[in-house]
């Protein structure tokens, strides 16, 4: 697979930070240790967690290209709140209340997709990004592959990391932590969630794409869960929001 890499050697991809600054800082530290030289974010920077402005500030300072997620959109626009449960809605409204004007303006500026290095970055399924569809089944993966021209697509949204490939019409689910990019193959990568993993592994999730090696590696890092929980308990009456971080669900 040949890609125009713009001189990047290792690309870190994050998603679904959800205002969890402790998790975001831990992931950025792990990227520095792995000598990642470009970072992209697949959206949902805010919602649920207690540090939305701080997370936005960090992404802005690092100039990390970011796409819009459904929770980011819900903070900006009431129409997007319609499909939210009470907990998600309360979190979005709290976030809306504390967001600085600068943060709000930054969120408003986010695109639905970014195409770079021959790969596509999007929050939910690329079939129709603003519909926020999940990619959870092989059928949904097949539809997602149909919608992309690039051989590689990074997404988030479900908070469950996966590597799925399409080669000569055959779908394959790579169950290892490293995927080697293949010729004549399309690749769909869910990078998992930095700030609220839901695959029963509480460690922050992200991936590292090594352009020279042609590999994508799942990157799980421990962070100060107790501190993130403590901050959520101070701002939210929904105990689940804090508890779930320790269980990774």
Which region, judged by CB under 5 A, interacts with Zn ion, from 10-18, 100-108, 209-217, 219-227? 10-18
- Cβ-based nearer residue to Zn ion, 76 or 178: 76
Measured over the CA atoms of residue 149, residue 171, residue 8 and residue 31, the dihedral's sign is: positive
Nearest approach, Cβ of residue 47 and Zn ion (Å): 7
* Contact call for residue 16 and Zn ion (CB under 5 A): yes
Between CA 113 and CA 79 the distance in angstroms is: 20
Half-sphere exposure of 219 (CA within 13 A, CB side): 29
Nearest approach, Cβ of residue 51 and Zn ion (Å): 15
Spatial contact of 36 and 12, defined as CB atoms under 8 Å apart: yes
* Contact call for residue 72 and Zn ion (CB under 5 A): no
Number of Cβ within 10 Å of residue 160's Cβ equals 19
- Cβ-based nearer residue to Zn ion, 44 or 199: 44
Count of residues making up the chain: 249
Which region, judged by CB under 5 A, interacts with Zn ion, from 9-17, 52-60, 143-151, 179-187? 9-17
Question: Which residue from 22, 25, 44, 199 is in contact with Zn ion, where contact means CB under 5 A?
Answer: 44
Nearest approach, Cβ of residue 233 and Zn ion (Å): 20
Spatial contact of 199 and 190, defined as CB atoms under 8 Å apart: no
Nearest approach, Cβ of residue 101 and Zn ion (Å): 24
Which region, judged by CB under 5 A, interacts with Zn ion, from 16-24, 58-66, 168-176, 199-207? 16-24
DSSP state of 66: B
Which region, judged by CB under 5 A, interacts with Zn ion, from 19-27, 43-51, 77-85, 239-247? 43-51
Give the binding-site size for Zn ion (rule: CB under 5 A). 2
- Cβ-based nearer residue to Zn ion, 166 or 225: 225
- Cβ-based nearer residue to Zn ion, 30 or 158: 158
- Nearest residue to 158 via CA among 81, 238, 249, 91: 249
* Contact call for residue 80 and Zn ion (CB under 5 A): no
- Nearest residue to 206 via CA among 16, 8, 55: 16
Number of Cβ within 10 Å of residue 222's Cβ equals 11
E strand or H helix at 190 = strand 185-190
DSSP state of 26: H
Nearest approach, Cβ of residue 93 and Zn ion (Å): 16
Residues that bind Zn ion (CB under 5 A): 16, 44
């Amino acid at each position: 697979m040949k890609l125009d890499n713009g001189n990047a050697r290792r690309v870190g991809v994050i998603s679904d930070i959800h205002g969890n600054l402790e998790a975001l800082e831990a992931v950025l530290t792990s990227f520095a240790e792995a000598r990642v030289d470009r970072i992209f974010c697949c959206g949902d920077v805010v919602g649920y967690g207690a540090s939305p402005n701080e997370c936005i500030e960090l992404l802005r300072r690092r100039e990390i290209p970011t796409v819009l997620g459904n929770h980011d959109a819900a903070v900006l626009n009431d129409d997007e709140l319609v499909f939210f449960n009470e907990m998600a809605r309360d979190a979005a409204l709290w976030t809306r209340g504390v967001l600085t004007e600068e943060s709000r303006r930054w969120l408003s500026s986010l695109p639905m997709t970014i195409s770079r290095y021959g790969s596509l970055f999007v929050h939910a399924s690329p079939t129709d990004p603003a519909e926020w569809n999940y990619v959870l089944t092989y059928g949904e993966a097949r539809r997602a592959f149909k919608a992309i021209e690039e051989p590689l697509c990074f997404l988030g949204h479900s908070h469950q990391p996966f590597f799925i490939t399409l080669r000569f019409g055959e779908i394959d689910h790579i169950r290892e932590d490293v995927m080697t990019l293949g010729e004549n193959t399309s690749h769909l990568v869910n990078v998992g969630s930095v700030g609220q993993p839901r695959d029963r592994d509480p460690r922050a999730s992200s991936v590292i794409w090594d352009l020279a090696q042609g590999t994508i590696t799942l990157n799980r890092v421990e962070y100060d869960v107790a501190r993130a929980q403590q901050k959520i308990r101070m701002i939210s009456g929904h105990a689940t929001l804090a508890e779930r971080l320790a269980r990774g669900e």
